């Protein structure tokens, strides 16, 4: 039972962190619960589909379907997160401070919510498909241990939910003035980390193997498999053996995000960019 708990918790941990961040980012947006719940639901449905067709998916692209699918999912999430950041740089000020016509705020808020709901859905889909496969395997096997394993799995899911709430309430403790800047940085690094992960998947599929040399190994300092290592892996893309290409892409996403925020951000006066 404990083994099942750990296996499931490890998978839902990442999705829990991401949902917690998204909840904090959207705390002032009306109707956000509906969007995020929709994202989670779509993610669960998607996870079941991916699990059901895992065998087929695996055989695509000469056996590299899983890797390319993961890379594509991460790529879409990176675009959505970057778009959200740039969009917030332009409209965040109006939304948070002026709150002009309520209707307009809702309309513009839902545009950005859509991007984040997609990010939530993809995170659930990616992590969830493994949970579904594992629990299905457990349920399909006979013997009395199956019930214990299922209970363990459910407890793991609940713990993942707890991670999500902890992240959310932890971020809400940050004073509102600093929260916007904090979440902008968080989302940028989240996106950069996902882009670096996508590079790793492409390299494993032998699709993109340029600069595939490990730049350094910090495994002695912080293993990627420790709890902290895993949390940082999700949050900022920490990996103990990054390849050169991963570093290049990571830096590129950070630079491009801030460049776009500067270029597109200020609508009227330059002062409007400053976080509320």
Partner 1 sequence: MFAPIIPRKVTLAALCVSAMLPLSAVQAQEATELQVTYDGQFQPGELRAPAGKPIVIRVKNNSGKAMEFESHSLKVEKVVSAKGEAVVNVRAQKPGRHEFFDDFNDKARGTLVVE
What residue ranges bind partner 1 (CB under 8 A)? 3, 7, 51, 54-55, 58, 62-64, 66-67, 129-130, 133-134, 136-138, 140-141, 200, 203-210, 212, 223-225, 239, 241
Comparing CB distances to partner 1, the nearer of 77 and 200 is 200
Spatial separation of the C-alpha atoms in residues 156 and 125, rounded to whole Å: 17
User: Rg of the chain over CA atoms, in angstroms?
Assistant: 20
Comparing CB distances to partner 1, the nearer of 138 and 179 is 138
Comparing CB distances to partner 1, the nearer of 179 and 200 is 200
CB neighbours of residue 23 within 10 Å? 21
- Closest approach of Cβ 193 to partner 1, in Å? 15
- Closest approach of Cβ 77 to partner 1, in Å? 18
Cβ neighbours of residue 102 closer than 8 Å, sequence gap 6 or more = none
- Closest approach of Cβ 83 to partner 1, in Å? 25
- Closest approach of Cβ 225 to partner 1, in Å? 5
Comparing CB distances to partner 1, the nearer of 187 and 199 is 199
- Closest approach of Cβ 100 to partner 1, in Å? 43
Cβ neighbours of residue 184 closer than 8 Å, sequence gap 6 or more = 85, 88, 89, 261, 275
- Comparing CA positions, the residue from 45, 28, 48 lying closest to residue 99 is 28
Comparing CB distances to partner 1, the nearer of 84 and 233 is 233
Burial 70-90, CB ≥16 within 10 A → b, else e: bbebbbebbebbbbbbbbbbb
């Amino acid at each position: 039972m404990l083994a099942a708990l750990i296996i499931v918790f490890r998978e839902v941990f990442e999705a829990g962190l991401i949902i917690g961040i998204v909840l904090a980012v959207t705390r002032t947006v009306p109707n956000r619960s509906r969007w995020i719940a929709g994202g989670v639901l779509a993610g669960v449905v998607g996870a079941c589909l991916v699990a059901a067709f895992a065998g087929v998916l695996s055989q695509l692209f000469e056996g590299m379907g899983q890797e390319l699918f993961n890379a594509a999912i991460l790529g879409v999430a990176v675009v959505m997160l970057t778009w959200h950041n740039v969009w917030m740089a332009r409209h965040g000020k109006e939304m948070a401070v002026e709150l002009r016509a309520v209707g307009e705020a809702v309309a513009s808020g839902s545009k950005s919510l859509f991007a984040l709901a997609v990010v939530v859905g993809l995170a659930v889909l990616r992590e969830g498909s493994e949970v579904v496969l594992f629990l299905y395997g457990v349920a399909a096997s006979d013997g009395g241990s199956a019930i214990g394993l299922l209970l363990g799995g459910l407890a793991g899911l609940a713990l993942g939910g707890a991670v999500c709430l902890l992240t959310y309430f932890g971020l809400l403790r940050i004073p509102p003035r600093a929260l916007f800047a904090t979440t902008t940085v968080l989302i940028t690094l989240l996106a950069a980390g996902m882009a670096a992960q996508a590079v790793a998947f492409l390299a494993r599929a032998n699709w993109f193997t340029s600069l595939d040399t490990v730049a350094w190994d910090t495994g002695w300092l912080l293993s990627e498999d420790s709890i902290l290592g895993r949390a940082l892996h999700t949050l900022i893309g920490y990996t103990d053996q990054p390849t050169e290409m991963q570093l290049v892409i990571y830096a590129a996403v950070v630079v491009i995000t801030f460049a776009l925020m500067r270029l597109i951000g200020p609508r009227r006066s330059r002062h409007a960019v400053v976080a509320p």
